[in-house]
Amino acid sequence: MTHLVLPVIDVAPLAGAVADPAIPVPAAALAVAGRIQEACREHGFFYVTGHGVPAMLVAELAEASAEFFALPAVDKLEISMERGGRAWRGYFPVGGELTSGQPDLKEGLYFGAELADDDPRVRAGLPLHGRNLFPRQVPRLRDAVLPYLDAMTALGQSVLAGIALSLSLDARYFADGYTADPTVLFRVFSYPPAPPGFHGWGVGEHTDYGLLTLLAQDDCGGLQVASPDGWIDAPPIPGTFVCNIGDMLDRLTGGWYRSTPHRVRNVSGRTRLSLPFFLDPGFADEVPPLPGRAAGGGRHRWDGQDLRAFTGTYGDYLLGKVAKVFPQLQRDVL
Ligand code: OGA
Ligand code: NI
């Protein structure tokens, strides 16, 4: 397809921007925010470097994940999502998840913030909150996932500081607001090689639901992003994360920033591993447009949905989405 069009942004100058409210925002951070604004307006996608997440941590997580997916099906199914109950965690086999009603050619693991049984949100029976399911056969996976969640949450907060600045908001706008108690979701996907003549998708066309997605991908390629000129590739760049904005940032900005459709087809001939991390608003947060940004206009979305018409909390929105991708599980556990 095409050469690289998505920008690569070094976010290192943002790290300090959420650290201390007493320190004025450095000019370098404002410059990064300017680049983020351009990327969010133009593509809704960009690459992140200077992120400070140790390469060893990503590599260890990728290796541990590959070790898990190589287990016999019966072992993987020991932690199947049916056993995760309302916390909505665990393993699903190939074809177990639907995008736009079609089964995806991928298997995967759902993780989230690790909450103990006595956490008030878990006791209140809040869906998608609770303990993770980790495989007993690959203990190193747990040891990699938990620090990864912490590292990626910190990175996500930094990038959100840049997004806040890019919208002329205080750097701590998200960290003190929507992501003070964020919804953190993390998935590990393994995409089998597409068989010859396969016309389906590893993951079908969709937008992400929340604020921010940070994706680590291996060297197989296959991620495609919608653009006004058609689909463009988001090829692997070692040491980076692909960052894209979700429906809640689209909603907040009245469509000024757009959650951009994307999809995956793994034609590498190898098994593709990807690690999407999602940093989203608190479950109970309503996410109305920012002042002065409500008038996005009647833009037509890929799926005909009007993001502004939705009323309710982010939790309501998320549950409506996950119910569609796992209809059976939704009937059984929610
Ligand atoms: C997602 C997604 C892309 C990938 O999980 O929302 O778009 O490469 N993943 O796995
Ligand atoms: Ni996505």
Q: Which of 188, 209, 215, 245 to mutate to test the pocket of ligand 1 (most atoms within 8 A of CB)?
A: 215
pLDDT at 210 over 90: yes
**Residue 276 Cα to ligand 1 middle (Å):** 6
So what's the pLDDT on residue 328? 76
Residue nearest to atom 10 of ligand 1 (CA): 274
Closest ligand to the CA of 104:
1
So what's the pLDDT on residue 304? 72
Within 6 A (CB) of ligand 1 lie: 187, 189, 203, 208, 215, 217, 223, 262, 264, 274, 276
Q: Which helix (H) or strand (E) holds 224?
A: strand 223-227
Closest ligand to the CA of 325:
1
Token pair for 186: 């993390």
**Residue 331 Cα to ligand 1 middle (Å):** 24
**Residue 189 Cα to ligand 2 middle (Å):** 11
Residue nearest to atom 1 of ligand 1 (CA): 276
pLDDT at 131 over 50: yes
Residues within 5 Å of ion ligand 2, judged at the Cβ atom: 208
So what's the pLDDT on residue 296? 56
So what's the pLDDT on residue 257? 95
Q: Rounded CA gap, 32 and 18, in Å?
A: 14
Q: Which atom of ligand 1 is nearest to the CA of 213?
A: 6
Residue nearest to atom 9 of ligand 1 (CA): 276
> Of 24-38, 41-55, 244-258, 293-307, which gets the smallest average pLDDT?
293-307
Q: Which of 201, 212, 213 to mutate to test the pocket of ligand 1 (most atoms within 8 A of CB)?
A: 213
**Residue 274 Cα to ligand 1 middle (Å):** 7
Band (1; pLDDT cuts 50, 70, 90) = very low
Q: Which atom of ligand 1 is nearest to the CA of 208?
A: 6
Token pair for 226: 């919608």
So what's the pLDDT on residue 288? 92
Q: Which of 245, 174, 173 is nearest to 211 (CA)?
A: 245
So what's the pLDDT on residue 300? 66
Residue nearest to atom 2 of ligand 1 (CA): 276
Q: Rounded CA gap, 11 and 94, in Å?
A: 35
181 alpha-carbon distance from chain centroid: 16
Q: Which helix (H) or strand (E) holds 99?
A: strand 98-99
Please report, rounded to a whole number, the percentage of residues in the chain having pLDDT higher than 90. Answer: 76
In the sheet where 203-206 sits, what is the strand order?
203-206, 262-264, 223-227, 230-233
So what's the pLDDT on residue 241? 98
Q: Rounded CA gap, 79 and 175, in Å?
A: 33
Q: pLDDT digits over 292-327, tens only?
A: 887 655 466 767 777 777 889 999 999 988 888 878
CA distances from 212 to 45, 105, 147, 334 (A): 10, 24, 19, 25
pLDDT at 229 over 80: yes
